[in-house]
A and B are shown apart, each in its own frame.
Chain A
Amino acid sequence: MIQVRNVTKRYGEKVAVDDLSFAVPAGIVTGFLGPNGAGKSTTMRLILGLDAPTSGSATINGKAYREFDAPLNEVGAMLEARAIHTGRSGYHHLLALAQTHGLPRTRVDEVIELVGLGEVARKRVGGFSLGMGQRLGIAAALLGDPETVILDEPVNGLDPEGIRWIRTLLKRLASEGRTVFLSSHLMSEMAQTAEHLVVVGRGRLIADTTVAEFVGRASADAPVRVRSPQATALAEALADEGVAIASEERGVLEVRGLSAERIGEAASAGGIVLHELTPLQVSLEDAFMHLTHDAVEYHASATADPADASVAELGAVA
């Protein structure tokens, strides 16, 4: 269980993390999602005691990272930025880490096998591909058999086989009752791996929810595609209801904020012919884009959703 409470981190003028609070439960994979620069890596660094928060606190199983006597046995972490000396072999990198905790050499060999680096472990890390570097980072994270695993963008640079491997690995770790927390800027990746989602934008919390709920919420706001020879008349009829209408093609409308049923009724009432009426599916990627796009660009607008409200506020601040 990772607990982040009202954490703020400023680097000079820049606020990287802004009063962020969330919890990462044990036993499931929790995704940490946000566009690049949203503060994901900084938050992870704060949890791991690499950076000190300007205010607030982060704990893992009730303790600050710095208080652990055997941190590698409690928490395994892989940061997005490489944290490995390029002049050293992967084996010696892991060995030195193991030695700080008195872990045996056999354990180093085990994790090397586990991540499939057996053939290159004795070579200098400087010659590793991105994917090999990621595997070595994961080996280091698993070295101490930790109860909590924190991975920053773990699938970056992995090939499809590697991506599938890490998904399976993370799910297994979670099923063993561990806390698994991984960040990504790729929604589609999260959809396949995570059950729970913590979404951030500009250092602030946008959503703390399950993947299913996240999609559900986004789908409620999904557009409906309407094809009509009387598109202009239909747009006018619907406009009365205060909805967002976009048209990218002559005779085709994308209507947001109204269900397909209501649009059909409105068309019927106005005697307007419809050729197509399709509620569009919202993919997780779209939902994510929509939310974080708001975080970046939208300005204040009246909505009932408190998450959206804070998003709007963010845009206003920007």
Chain B
Amino acid sequence: MSATAADPSAADRVRAIPRGRVTQARVLHAEWTKLWSLRSTRWSLLAAVVAMAGLGVLIAAVQMSRWSHLTLQDRLDFKPIDTSLGGVNLAQLAIGVLGVLIISGEYSTGMIRSSVMAVPRRLPVLWAKIGVFATVTFVLMLVSSLVAFLGSQAILTSHHVNVGLGAPHALRAVVGTALFLTVLGVLCVAIGSLVRNSAGGISAFVGLLFVLPGIVSILPSSIGQSIRPYLPSSAGTAITQAVPEAHTLAPWAGFALFCGYTAVTVAAAAFMFRRRDV
């Protein structure tokens, strides 16, 4: 075109650019770029990976070094799978906080206005954020929980208390840990989208996952025990445990309920995102 001719003025260059069209796939691509171009995201994901992969191995190593001092009861109660996946307790904090920040960070900086101006139908932005974050979380956490499991079991061989992936519930717990963290991440993106404020969103997430169980535990036990299995934290973590805690739903039933809570929150977030001024 004329851009390469005698007058390569800026105006001509401006004229020569192609026209696009917003598609869901393109918005996914953009959200992928956005996710990885923030330093805070990379650090949070690294923290989640280190916590998930490393904490279980660390606990396993400590347990093995103290093994000869443990009582017989402690040795009988030792849970090789759940010990190895203990990092989920810390990883969920990193994933949850990052999930909130992915969207609340756009509100606090005003970036959301640029996002919505580029994609005025809005919902593709929410779907893309959820899709990208869920995919990244699942892949990283699956690898991390596998590393945690295999690494821990290798350490546990020193006192022959190790198990293989083929052991009952082992594979389900390993994959379930990644699934739980993934759905948790989605839940937190939805919370961030609803609350639109980093501090508020993180408070809501921490309150729901960490504070609520504490409150229920101080209720009279008859009431507490009937509520507890249905809390998001109990329902969600059931799938991550090889040896279930008392008063929890069956692993997949609990996970289904956790997905249900998340779906409702996502639906509310989508409804509000379309309607509210940004």
* Cα of A253 to Cα of B27 in the assembled complex, Å: 66
Report A-chain residues with C-beta under 8 Å of the C-beta of B20.
70, 72-73, 100-103, 144
- The answer, yes or no, to whether B14 is at the interface (CB within 8 Å) is yes
Across the interface, do B30 and A107 meet the contact criterion of CB distance under 8 Å? no
Cβ of A276 < 8 Å from any Cβ of B? no
- Looking at the assembled complex, report how far the CB atom of B28 sits from the nearest CB atom of chain A, in whole angstroms: 9
Q: Does A145 contact B (CB under 8 A)?
A: yes
Main secondary structure of the interface of B (DSSP, over half): helix
Are A81 and B33 interface neighbours, CB within 8 A?
no
Interface contact tally, CB-CB below 8 A: 131
Q: Among A75, A88, A176, point to the contact of B37 (Cβ < 8 A).
A: A88
Cα distance A79–B34 in the bound complex, in angstroms:
20
Given the complex of chains A and B, what is the CA–CA distance between A96 and B125 in angstroms?
Answer: 12
Contacts of A45 in B (CB 8 A): 277
Chain B residues with CB under 8 A of A73: 19-20
Please, which residues of chain A bring their CB within 8 A of the CB of B121?
A: 66
Inter-chain contact B26/A101, CB cutoff 8 Å: yes
The B1-22 residues at the A interface (CB cut-off 8 A) are 10-11, 13-15, 17-22
Q: Which of A70, A72, A102 has the most CB of B within 10 A?
A: A102
Shortest Cβ gap from A67 to chain B (Å) = 8
A5 lies within 8 A of chain B by Cβ:
no
Known: A71-B117, A100-B22, A101-B22. A81 touches B110 (CB 8 A): yes
Query: Is B29 within 8 A of A83, CB to CB?
Result: no
Asked if B223 is at the interface of the complex by the 8 Å CB criterion, the answer is: no
Q: Which residue of B lies closest to A82 (CB)?
A: B110
Which residues from chain B contact A92 at a C-beta distance below 8 Å? 33-34, 37
In this assembly, does A287 line the interface, its C-beta being within 8 Å of a C-beta of chain B? no
Pair A102/B278 contact, Cβ less than 8 Å: no
> Please, what's the 1-or-0 string for B35-56, where 1 marks a CB less than 8 Å from any CB in chain A?
0011110000000000000000
Q: Is the CB of B114 within 8 A of A87?
A: no
Across-interface contacts of B23 in A (CB, < 8 A):
102
- Which residues on B are within 8 Å of A, measured CB to CB? 10-11, 13-15, 17-23, 26-27, 29-31, 33-34, 37-40, 105-106, 109-114, 116-121, 275, 277-278
**B residues near A68, Cβ cutoff 8 Å:** 120
Across the interface, do A84 and B17 meet the contact criterion of CB distance under 8 Å? no
Interface flag for A265 (CB, 8 Å): no
Instruction: Flag the segment in A48-56, A209-217, A219-227, A298-306 that touches B.
Output: A48-56
B10 with A114: CB separation less than 8 A: yes
The answer, yes or no, to whether A97 is at the interface (CB within 8 Å) is yes
A261 CB to closest chain B CB (Å) equals 50
Contact A100 B39 (CB under 8 A): no
Set B11, B112, B113: member contacting A172, Cβ < 8 A: B11
Instruction: Say yes or no for A142: interface residue by CB 8 A criterion.
Output: yes
Q: 11 extra interchain contacts, Cβ-Cβ under 8 A, other than A93-B114, A140-B114?
A: A50-B277, A51-B277, A70-B21, A83-B110, A84-B109, A88-B38, A97-B114, A97-B118, A100-B119, A103-B20, A110-B17
Q: Across the interface, name the chain A residue whose C-beta is closest to B116.
A: A50
CA A77 – CA B110 in complex, angstroms? Answer: 14
Given contacts A82-B109, A110-B13, A114-B10, contact A71 B38 (CB under 8 A): no
Asked if A89 lies at the interface with its beta carbon under 8 angstroms from chain B, I say: yes
CB contact list, A95-111 vs B, under 8 A: 95-97, 99-104, 107, 110
Which residues of B sit under 8 angstroms from A164, Cβ to Cβ? none
* Max chain B C-beta neighbours (<10 A), residue from A45, A52, A66, A97: A97
A110 vs B22: C-alpha distance when bound (angstroms): 21
Residues on B with C-beta less than 8 A from A72 are 20, 117-118
> Chain A residue with minimal CB distance to B109?
A85
- The yes or no answer to A86 lying at the interface (CB within 8 A) is yes
Task: Report the minimum CB–CB distance from A69 to chain B (whole Å).
Answer: 5
Give the residue name and chain of the A residue nearest to B31 (CB).
A96
Assess the B29–A48 pair: CB atoms within 8 A.
no
Which residues of chain A come closer than 8 Å to B110, judged between CB atoms? 79, 81-84
| Given the contacts A50-B116, A71-B117, A114-B10, A99 and B21 also touching, CB distance less than 8 Å | no
Most A Cβ at <10 Å: residue of B19, B23, B31 = B19
Which one of B10, B17, B39 lies within 8 Å of A107 (CB-CB)?
Answer: B17
